[in-house]
Amino acid sequence: MKNLLISFHGKNLLAIGFLAIPYLSVSQGGRDQPTLTPHALRDDIKVEQFMKVEPEAVRLIVNPVSGDMYYSSFEGDVYHIVNKDGKPASVKILTAADHGITRLQGAAFHKNTLFLAGNINVNNNKGNKGRMVRYEILPNDAKPEVTVIFNTVEYGANKTTFDHGWNALEISPDGKYIMVNSGARTDHGEIQDNGGIYPNARDNALTTKIYSFPIDSKDLLLVDDTEKLKELGYIYAEGIRNAYDMAYDQKGNLFAVSNSGDYDHPEDMFWVRKGRHYGFPWVMGGIDNPQQNPDWQPNPETDPFLSKFAFAWLMKYFHNDPTFPKRPAGITFTPAVQNLGPDANEYRDRKTGVVMDADTTGVTVGTFNAHSSPLALVFDTKKGLSKEFKGDGFVIRYAGGGKTGASNPNPLKRQGRDLLHLHMIYDKKTDNYKVQTTRIVDNFTSPTDAVIIGNSLYVIEYGGKQGGNKSGGSLWKITLPNDNKIVRKK
């Protein structure tokens, strides 16, 4: 999801992908947006509130041994969902003081072992370190003992909303490895030197990658050296701006959904394969990053992909940049999964700049509409759903939705805050996947993660502050149909 708590003009911000989520209302859907009630877009899907959750909920996970659900907050708390007097309730079992992760963004279970990952402020909050730990869950929520998997060396944080940090976790199907994503510390590969404290710092060996560690690793120190990390076998894939969510499908393929930057690039979904490079910072959403061109002079008045409202434009992160790194020689970038529609496939035409619906033009989009912030990627790996959904995937668009107008000037954000059904199709010709994408539930309030249990999909919301008070969000239960009848509402 959104990745780093920073201070900007006196307001605390949490960066989720490209998106800054402040303690005030924002057009994409922030912490203080009015609480909404999700509603199904089909008559055969049921939506009901399962419970209220504590503020700043980021990850929702299931202990495969007990079957219980747990969730974690951005500030470092971990909660066990238990039954109290016949109703679900949250019991806090860990805090940042226990595990030492002050910006907690990743959580996953392997058997009865809980893994947590995130970031630590250092150098008077001007630097960052990544950290992962694990716990063996004990009966009656007794305090478990922590084992450190890794810490990283210090590297520069920055003053932007684009410092994504260490976040998504996923366990390999064979249970031998844990995967972890480390997102970009930039919007699009620009210099972010934090006021000159980290001179000429762009992205580095510890960012824009998916890593793989043996499940029993402990006390590792990760250094800012790509070749060393490759030699140790830790780097799994490169060139992904921010895979805030990853998931394996029923065939054991790893997929990741990534946020693009403030340019109107589509948002990527990748089939992640070992040793591949996916293009960042040179390509996002199948579109070249213009800042890599030495003669580029950005201008929102003439470039329809560059909004004059974009945070990165207002902060002058889009600029002529003749020292931008050259593309790596001899490496072919692996493109994104192509979206066949019918939903989330709006795009900006490269010649005219007009926003088009790919359903009417016949093109494919790699992968989702710009600025949608895809999260909560899950697959029906246990095949517990009806034939229509069996084995398929689901993803949530965190952003978008609402009326297009002065507060939401970009027509690419017309729809969002919804649950999408993903039907994956392997294309032998391109050795990649295509996806049919269909909206099935919308009207969430800051949805951040999801799990599938049986034929129900649970969606947790971030919550945050309402009127200056921490209010929390909701955990919603989405019951999917038991038959194959399709009834889409208009």
- Taking the C-alpha atoms of residue 255 and residue 208, their distance in angstroms, rounded to an integer, is 15
Closest CA to 116 of 140, 82, 154, 149: 149
- Taking the C-alpha atoms of residue 309 and residue 30, their distance in angstroms, rounded to an integer, is 16
Determine the pLDDT at residue 24.
Answer: 25
Which pair of structure tokens corresponds to residue 180? 């972890």
The residues that bridge with 128 in the sheet, in sequence order, are 121, 155
Determine the pLDDT at residue 406.
Answer: 47
At residue 308, what are phi and psi to the nearest 5 degrees?
Answer: -70, -10
> Dihedral of the CA atoms 74, 80, 81, 84 (nearest 10)?
-130
Tens of pLDDT along the chain (490 residues) come to 333 333 332 333 444 443 434 322 222 334 444 567 999 999 999 999 999 999 999 999 999 999 999 999 999 999 999 999 999 999 999 999 999 999 999 999 999 999 999 999 999 989 999 999 999 999 998 999 999 999 999 999 887 777 899 999 999 999 999 999 999 999 999 999 998 999 999 999 999 999 999 999 999 999 999 999 999 999 999 999 999 999 999 999 999 999 999 999 999 999 999 999 999 999 999 999 999 999 999 999 999 999 999 999 999 999 999 999 999 999 999 999 999 999 999 999 999 999 999 999 999 999 999 999 999 999 999 999 999 999 999 999 999 886 544 455 578 888 999 999 999 999 999 999 999 999 999 999 999 999 999 999 999 999 875 555 677 899 999 999 875 544 455 3
Which pair of structure tokens corresponds to residue 167? 């976040």
- Taking the C-alpha atoms of residue 381 and residue 250, their distance in angstroms, rounded to an integer, is 4
**How does strand 456-461 pair with strand 474-479?**
antiparallel
Determine the pLDDT at residue 402.
Answer: 63
pTM, full prediction: 0.91
Determine the pLDDT at residue 214.
Answer: 98
- Taking the C-alpha atoms of residue 407 and residue 363, their distance in angstroms, rounded to an integer, is 29
**How does strand 177-182 pair with strand 166-171?**
antiparallel
Determine the pLDDT at residue 192.
Answer: 95
> Dihedral of the CA atoms 336, 339, 340, 342 (nearest 10)?
180
Q: What is the pLDDT of residues 32-43, one digit of tens each?
A: 445 679 999 999
Determine the pLDDT at residue 488.
Answer: 52
- Taking the C-alpha atoms of residue 153 and residue 176, their distance in angstroms, rounded to an integer, is 25
**How does strand 19-22 pair with strand 46-52?**
unpaired
Cα-only R_g, the chain: 21
Distance in angstroms between the alpha carbons of the first and the last residue of the chain: 30
Locate tokens 């939903």: which residue? 343
Give 79's contacts (C-beta < 8 A, 6+ positions apart).
Answer: 53, 54, 70, 71, 72, 73, 90, 91, 92, 93
HEC secondary structure over the chain: CEEEEEEECCEEEEEECCEEEECCCCCCCCCCCCCCCCEECECCCEEEEEEECCCCEEEEEECCCCCCEEEEECCCCEEEEEEECCEEEEEEEECHHHHCCCEEEEEEEECCEEEEEEEEEECCCCEEEEEEEEEECCHHHCCCCEEEEEEECCEECCCCCCCCCEEEEEECCCCCEEEEEECCCCCCCCCCCCCCCCCCCCCCCCCCEEEEEECCCCCEEECCCHHHHHHCCCEEEECCCCCCEEEECCCCCEEEECCCCCCCCCECEEEECCCCECCCCCEECCEECHHHCCCCCCCCCCCCCCCCCCHHHHCCCCCCCCCCCCCCCCCCCCCCCEEEEECCCEEECCCCCCEEEHHHHCCCECCECCCCCEEEEEECCCCCCCCCCCCCEEEEECCCCCCCECCECCHHHCCCCEEEEEEEEEECCCCEEEEEEEEEEECCCCEEEEEEECCEEEEEECCCEECCEECCCEEEEEECCCCCCCCECC
Determine the pLDDT at residue 408.
Answer: 53
